[in-house]
Amino acid sequence: MASRTKTQVMIVGGGPVGMLLAAELAGYGVRTLVLESETEVSRCPKATTLHARTVQCLVRRGHLDGLEAAVDPAAFTRAFHFAGLPGLAISAPAAEPEPVMKCPQEELQRHFEKRARAAGARVLRGHRVTGVRQGPAGVRVTAQGPHGQVDCAAQYLVGADGARSTVREQTGFASRTYSATVSAMAGDVRLVEAASLGPGWHCTPRGWLVAKDVPGGGLRLRTLNCTGAQDGHRRPPTLEELRGEVSWIAGRDIAMEAPRWLSRFSDFSRLARSFRAGRIFLAGDAAHVHFPIGGQGLSTGLLDAVNLGWKLALTVQGGAGRRLLDSYDQERRPAAQRVIDNTRAQLALMRPGPELEPLRALFTQLLATGGEASALGAMVSAQDTMLAPLTAQSSPWEGRFLHNVGLNTPDGPAEVIGLLREGRPLLLLFGERGSSYQEQARGWAGVVRTVHAAPTPELPCEALLVRPDGYVAWGPDGDGLDSALAAYFGESRGTTAGPADTEGRLAEPVS
């Protein structure tokens, strides 16, 4: 007999994206259930890079607290690469964390799971989803677990279950795909002759080899063969296959032994045509997949979780405007498309051939002279992301990310990062003129945190409404503050009885 459970939000997939979303939701008091097919965190090497905007958002929510021991000694850096070419400078404002952080994906996943459990999320490992069904009042999921079938009912469902997402397939999300044109392999090995291939990015007439030293004396290898996509891409790779590929690209025999793990991949890319279907959402690799150049995949997925978490929590608790959940797709899908586009552009620049040498030389020069104002650096780190406003007549402030600024408040000195830690929307009122907006916000006092501060030249305006993820939701010179508050958080509680959004009511099980 199947066991049954009911929750408010169910997340399928317990990778770093799913676990971060669970930590966010549970931190807001939302009953959250995570279903993960694996019984433990995979130790296979995966992503290691967190780019600037992701670091900035996670710091604002306190999600990097306690992670110091897992961070690489060179955890924070400004030096990066573009299409394998060195010299890409990624900068951040002085009061922000260093812009590129290195941390193994498995450590992030463990860290976020610990935070999710501590906040009250329930995590069921070893549960493989077999069915997804959506009704008008909620979603029902069936899963096969260690002790038999489990039937789960939830108000909302998020598929964060990877590139081969069961949620995406069973729900019928349409996607735009880009066929594979290259083949690539990766693995940790030991070279028979250590001097046969040194660490770094190696471009040859036949492709690319990327080598990195790993603890224990091994070498992490990645190959890029641009002659075409490989047949049988799901076939497990062998050491001899990797050796043959590395030797062919290098143009000389490179012997290797003692493989610890091997994998193959390509430049196949996918973008879901919508990240929302009613009460079901996609996040991370379930929503978007791209060639892993530039270290953008993990960061993009975590930004999905940061964007969706507070919106879904407000909706469940009856404090969201009617279009707030739709803004998740409107904001995150264009961002994912940009990542797919720039990774495809980088791969085009990496294709071997003498006709591309002048172009690579030009980009190398541009990277060397671009400095920290590089548009490429802002793109790869997602710091150039601007969001579309929800209001009809927007202020120039809206959609911008509010960088960390020191403020003088009646309670003493404060910073934007600290003021956003509790996850509430923030209304900043500067000086006496800013205080004139306080009355407009009175009806949303239970949702929005209001902070008075002395005027500062860094923020030359009377007031700002800041979302929990750090983006500005409203500024002067646009629609009225009350219009913005209603768009994000529903009608004023001082004038309207009942929940702001009937979507926010707890669903009964789907029949």
* CATH number of the domain where residue 232 is located: 3.30.70.2450
Classify residue 498: in a domain, yes or no: no
Residue 45 has pLDDT above 90, yes or no: no
Classify residue 290: in a domain, yes or no: yes
Residue 509 has pLDDT above 90, yes or no: no
- In this prediction, residue 164 has a pLDDT band, given cuts at 50, 70 and 90, of very high
Q: Do 357 and 376 belong together in one domain? A: yes
Residues forming a β-bridge with 456: 459
d(C-alpha 477, C-alpha 460), whole Å: 12
Residue 471 has pLDDT above 80, yes or no: yes
Q: Do 11 and 84 belong together in one domain? A: yes
Distances (CA, A) of 374 to 54, 59, 336: 18, 24, 20
For residues 145-163, give the mean pLDDT: 97
Amino acid residing at 332: R
Q: Do 79 and 106 belong together in one domain? A: yes
Residues forming a β-bridge with 426: 449, 466
Other Cβ atoms within 10 Å of 419 Cβ, number: 20
Which has the minimum average pLDDT: 53-57, 275-279, 436-440? 436-440
Residues 194-222 pLDDT 10s: 999 999 999 999 999 999 999 888 999 99
* Strands of the sheet with 175-178, listed across from one edge: 175-178, 269-272, 288-289
Mean pLDDT of the chain: 92
Residue 507 has pLDDT above 50, yes or no: no
Place of tokens 């793109």: 379
For residues 102-110, give the mean pLDDT: 94
pLDDT at 302: 98
For residues 260-264, give the mean pLDDT: 93
Q: Do 194 and 286 belong together in one domain? A: no
Classify residue 45: in a domain, yes or no: yes
pLDDT at 80: 85
Strands (E), 128-254: 128-135, 138-145, 148-159, 175-178, 183-191, 200-204, 207-214, 218-225
pLDDT at 216: 81
d(C-alpha 479, C-alpha 12), whole Å: 39
**Please, what is the angle between helix 357-370 and helix 326-350, to 10°?**
120
Distances (CA, A) of 381 to 170, 307, 374, 402: 33, 16, 11, 16
Classify residue 411: in a domain, yes or no: yes
Q: Are 426 and 419 in contact (CB under 8 A)?
A: yes
Q: Do 123 and 230 belong together in one domain? A: no
Q: Do 102 and 33 belong together in one domain? A: yes
Place of tokens 């909706």: 315
- In this prediction, residue 502 has a pLDDT band, given cuts at 50, 70 and 90, of very low
pLDDT at 351: 95
Q: Are 63 and 23 in contact (CB under 8 A)?
A: yes
For residues 333-361, give the mean pLDDT: 95
Residues 476-497 pLDDT 10s: 988 999 999 999 999 987 643 3
Classify residue 155: in a domain, yes or no: yes
Q: Do 171 and 317 belong together in one domain? A: yes
Q: Do 190 and 172 belong together in one domain? A: no
Which has the minimum average pLDDT: 168-172, 322-326, 371-375? 371-375
Q: Do 277 and 417 belong together in one domain? A: no
CATH number, domain of 423, equals 3.40.30.120
Q: Do 287 and 365 belong together in one domain? A: yes
Query: How many domains are there within the chain?
Result: 3
Q: Do 239 and 316 belong together in one domain? A: no
Q: Do 167 and 187 belong together in one domain? A: no
- In this prediction, residue 369 has a pLDDT band, given cuts at 50, 70 and 90, of confident
Classify residue 505: in a domain, yes or no: no
pLDDT at 77: 59
Mention every residue, 6+ apart, whose C-beta is less than 8 A from residue 406.
Answer: 95, 413, 414, 415, 456
Residue 184 has pLDDT above 70, yes or no: yes
d(C-alpha 337, C-alpha 497), whole Å: 41
- In this prediction, residue 371 has a pLDDT band, given cuts at 50, 70 and 90, of low
- 3-state secondary structure at position 26: helix
What is the residue range of 448's domain?
406-489
